[in-house]
Amino acid sequence: IVNDDGGIDSTTTNLEALAKVEILDCTNSKLITIDELIIHMPNLKILKCSYNSLVELDVSKNILLEELDCSNNQIKKLDMRKNIKLEKLICWSNKLTNLDLSKNIEIKYLNCSYNELTNLEISRNILLEELDCSTNQIKNLDVSNNINLMYLNCFDNQLTNLEISKNIKLKKLICWSNKLSSLDLSKNIEIKTLYCNNNMLVSLDISLIRNLSQLRCCNQAEGFILYLTNEQMKEFTEKNYCDAILKEKDGSIYEIEWLDIYPNPTVGKFFIVNKFFTDEIKILNLAGEVLYRAILNDEKTEIDISNLPAGLYLVITKGKIGKVIKN
């Protein structure tokens, strides 16, 4: 059937047989088109044509289609309006700039990652359980109607806001490398995996998520505060939260035993015993504002805060936190 150019030959030799086909898997077959083949398959339910060189894909005649995997091609346009029975769509790594799923209300699984989408409208897809729209150019993502969503991967986009209070079934959230300044997880207590690193979060409260087992929230705004429980404090380390300020829900700050500061209180200067050379040290007020920073280059380092007003300050280095009182 496949000719030297990757096209289809002799597709009309047995139309009766083609009409009975329900599953077609032509993955990694060096194809440049399959349109002239699948047009004769009105009963097709599952089509897998990933890892080819398709630039077009016409499934308008395949109205019974339930599953389509056309990932890793060069498709620029994908019209799914006739495929109202579609439950699973995998179209990652193409060149899609638009994806209309308004007629696909039965869809439960969608992976449209690694495309060129600037918008994704899924308000009518209320049965959606898994969504991966990562590595696109999406600025706004409304998942308020997707109440059955259990998996959401939207990393590497341009999101400034992510409202997920309606997604109470969510178990895995991956939203790193966006522009989020806040993330409310108070309604998402079933989450087990949370990757939200490389954003602009000022604070993050995970204290209500008791089953959380995987966490990445590094690289946020200066003075980033992570609210967590005693149990979570024991489970997670600086590998999970880096230089976050750790606080209990009541606002009290977790102490780190090895961070030795003296004299404390101080009238101006204090020393810090550092176990890691050439680390950056930050002095913050309780509002999270960075007031002082320097690079540690000696095992015992003198810090001068005589120019700061009297009060309580946070000392951060290598993901560890201490407190110093300035009289």
The pLDDT tens digits for 120-141 are 999 999 999 999 999 999 999 9
pLDDT reported for residue 80: 98
221/231 Cα distance (integer angstroms): 25
pLDDT in tens, 150-190: 999 999 999 999 999 999 999 999 999 999 999 999 999 99
72/93 Cα distance (integer angstroms): 5
| 119 inside domain | no
For the chain, how many structural domains are there in total? 1
The type of residue at 312 is L
Average of per-residue pLDDT values in the chain: 89
Q: What is the pTM of this model?
A: 0.81
Q: The domain containing residue 305 runs over which residues?
A: 260-326
Among 11-25, 109-123, 181-195, 284-298, where is mean pLDDT lowest?
Answer: 284-298
Instruction: Please determine, for residue 278, whether its predicted confidence score (pLDDT) is greater than 90.
Output: no
pLDDT in tens, 84-95: 999 999 999 999
Q: Are residues 182 and 162 in contact, defined by beta-carbon separation less than 8 angstroms?
A: no
| 6 inside domain | no
Q: How far is CA 88 from its chain centroid? A: 20
User: Which residue do the tokens 């009297």 mark?
Assistant: 310
> In CATH, what number is assigned to the domain containing residue 309?
2.60.40.10
Torsion, Cα 77 82 84 90, to 10 degrees, reads: -20
Q: For 22, how many CA atoms within 13 A lie in the half-sphere containing its CB?
A: 1
| 167 inside domain | no
195/193 Cα distance (integer angstroms): 7
| 278 inside domain | yes
| 146 inside domain | no
> Residue 6: which pLDDT band, with cuts at 50, 70 and 90?
very low
Q: For 16, how many CA atoms within 13 A lie in the half-sphere containing its CB?
A: 0
266/327 Cα distance (integer angstroms): 6
Q: Are residues 49 and 34 in contact, defined by beta-carbon separation less than 8 angstroms?
A: yes
Of residues 113, 74, 111, 79, the one with CA closest to residue 94: 74
Q: Are residues 219 and 213 in contact, defined by beta-carbon separation less than 8 angstroms?
A: no
| 26 inside domain | no
| 314 inside domain | yes
Q: Are residues 274 and 258 in contact, defined by beta-carbon separation less than 8 angstroms?
A: no
| 303 inside domain | yes
Q: Are residues 248 and 227 in contact, defined by beta-carbon separation less than 8 angstroms?
A: yes
- C-beta neighbour count of 166 within 10 angstroms: 15
